[in-house]
Structure 1
């Protein structure tokens, strides 16, 4: 049987490559702190249904179940899957995107990408790339309302905030000022529980909001959004 160890290493190499490319292509200067994207995987799962033992270095085969937060899956993993399948054609991928914390053992998940630190000691993790947040707004909104020069000036602007689906809590915006971390809780006129929804509102001129840089990168390239408070 093809062991998950061999397959995980192959997936991790591909994931590390795509995450590095994404980090390079979405580097946007900003005043927000950063968190890391960790990849977690479960030990011991066997992928091939064949009863004939195969060497550990055999070509990976079978089904690889992967879970990730929605924005990570859409903007980092999904675009890389065709390249991954071309490299490992015998390995099928079942990608599951959700904001909830999946029980990897109970649901038979092989690989999970998570933003933050590993809490479950039964799992191994490897850091892939920084998770950077930045404030964005459309050029039209900034032309109409002005460009804030400090955190305090955000109170005079229309703000669009993100709400976690898992907890229902709205996001406090973390700013790094010199060596200090500061938090700003916006009085948001619009709250959305999906990162891409926040970006759609911002691109339509709805105000200032924050987003992972890898999610906002396509809007920045098209000139729909620009960083605020870099």
Structure 2
């Protein structure tokens, strides 16, 4: 049986307001196995962003169980949770979150500072990853000297620098044009083929179709969990084959 990277059971999340508790997540159950590629979808206010924050150990559920890579998060000390998070998860955000005054090399290497890795090794790993995402010639550039798509590639390289088993991506193409978005999704596809588990939040159906599985939230609940069907030469319309 394939090992799960994420397993949540009867997860609830309430936020306290002046009028009392406001429920955001309501009895969510989900298992994501190693090597899976999942798109989390749903309208604004459906709970998907709160759910992703809990998966990333950036927020805590009101009740329920979350097991991350075999570790029951609720019963762990804060330092232990931070250690598992830094070792297991790479984060990619819509806004890139790069340091404007630092080189691309230093941006990618930054997470290794907190891991106690010496500077020469940090830079070696960062350079390898920048080359992997096609930016090996720009290691000394700053974020404002490259395009938005290139900045997102830097953010992906940074997410990979600790060799995570899981990437959590929050609207990773939200600030990109359609052509650049496709390039970024192709990169995610290659990373998934290498065995990295990917979970991404997106509002865009065409972006979600790159994933192997789509999980849809509505009013704090999962209302749909389906495998993405990809067309094959046997199922394509003959008139479309010339365009594939």
**Bin for the TM-score computed over the shorter chain:** under 0.3
Larger Rg: 1
TM-score, structure 2 length as denominator? 0.25
